[in-house]
Structure 1
Amino acid sequence: MTLETNSSIQIQKPVEEVFEGIVNPEKMTKYFISESSGRLVTGKEVIWKFPEFEDKFPITDIKIETNRSIFFVWDPETVVKITLEKLADQSTLVRVNENGKEFNEDNLKWALDNSGGWANFLACLKAYLEYGIQLRKGAFDFMRNK
């Protein structure tokens, strides 16, 4: 049995704008990561840095379907799938699924943590794209000294 996390949110922006907000590092650094070595592109590998962690995270096995889906690996045991659905009112439904870890106590903690993490990602994406608000700015500074 494998574990998975799922999160979703509706963003009041066109699918093209939401897609660009996810693949473009200049936008992502406004709501999710602090650094990126480049744009998410099929077949490319990029490195992400988060403001609250010293580690850098390689993003591999990237597969992009423009304005529809973003797939990548940042944990060798899991695949992240972000899907975008254009809705009738020109807003976008964003779904995040991460799965692949075997069921055990440590991985159950991972699933709970990542569920919250992806919900945070979506809330920050929505706040940034709809209102220009950077919810993560200073939000996790307390974690730097751990």
Structure 2
Amino acid sequence: MPFEFRVNGRIDRPVTEVFDAVVNPDQLSRYFVTLGGISGPLVAGATVKWWGEVPVQVEVVEKNERIVFRWDAMVAEGDDPYQTRVELRFQSLDDGATMVTIAEKGCRENEQGQKGSYVNCEGWSQMLACMKAWLEYGINLRQGYYLSELSGKPALEPQA
């Protein structure tokens, strides 16, 4: 069975604000896709570029509920390219906060697929932490976090 994972986090903001923080390129580029930005909003049927170079093919956008997209998986040199499927779900909680769940599936059943799933799981967990810090406290946790951000090159894999 292909590798897949799910992460979630509670953001102490209304679902409309949390959802907008993902679909709105001005917001997402302030706390997650900080280097290179985003070429446009997440709209069903659109292909946008994150970090100035990573194509994200948006399949579904259900306002304040769900976003589904596909993007290129990490592959070893010489391997055939393929895509994984990412689904973000937004659940309004009774206390006015929002639970965000991010699931990614489709990583191949090989060493590179396993590595890619670990790297992306780490990245989505960090995205949730960064979103929480940004929306609740106005803090950009990614600023200066990666060596790549200091060098001006996007980090698509962990730095050695």
TM-score over 0.5 for the pair: yes
Per-residue deviation, residues 64-105 of structure 1 (Å, max 9, x unmatched): 000000111112421000000001001000000000122111
Cα–Cα, structure 1 residues 6 and 91, in superposed 2: closer, same or farther, change >3 Å?
same
Kept after mapping to 1: 8 A contact 2:42/2:58: no
Matched, 1:133 2:135: no
Cα deviation, residue 142, structure 1: 4.7
SS of the aligned residue for 1:7 comes to strand
Matches within 5 A, 1:1-80: 1-33=1-33, 34=35, 35-49=37-51, 56-75=53-72, 76-80=82-86
Kept after mapping to 1: 8 A contact 2:71/2:84: yes
Per-residue deviation, residues 35-68 of structure 1 (Å, max 9, x unmatched): 1110001111111117xxxxx1011143100000
Structure 1, unmatched stretches of 5+, are 51-55
Amino acid of the residue matched to residue 118 of structure 2? L
Percent identity for Structure 1 against Structure 2? 38
What RMSD over aligned residues (CA atoms) do the two structures have, in Å? 1.6
Kept after mapping to 2: 8 A contact 1:5/1:114: no
Q: 1:124 aligns with which of 127, 130, 138?
A: 130
Please, what TM-score do these two structures have when normalized by structure 1? 0.91
Amino acid of the residue matched to residue 85 of structure 1? Q
Kept after mapping to 2: 8 A contact 1:40/1:62: no
SS of the aligned residue for 2:107 comes to strand
How far apart are the structure 2 equivalents of 1:67 and 1:28?
Answer: 15
Amino acid of the residue matched to residue 93 of structure 2? L
Structure 1 stretches of 4+ moved >3 Å: 142-146
SS of the aligned residue for 1:78 comes to strand
Q: 1:85 corresponds to which residue?
A: 91
Cα–Cα, structure 1 residues 9 and 48, in superposed 2: closer, same or farther, change >3 Å?
same
How far apart are the structure 2 equivalents of 1:109 and 1:37?
Answer: 28
Amino acid of the residue matched to residue 68 of structure 2? F
Per-residue deviation, residues 96-121 of structure 1 (Å, max 9, x unmatched): 00001221111111111111111000
Please, what TM-score do these two structures have when normalized by structure 2? 0.83
How many residue pairs get matched?
A: 141
Amino acid of the residue matched to residue 49 of structure 2? I
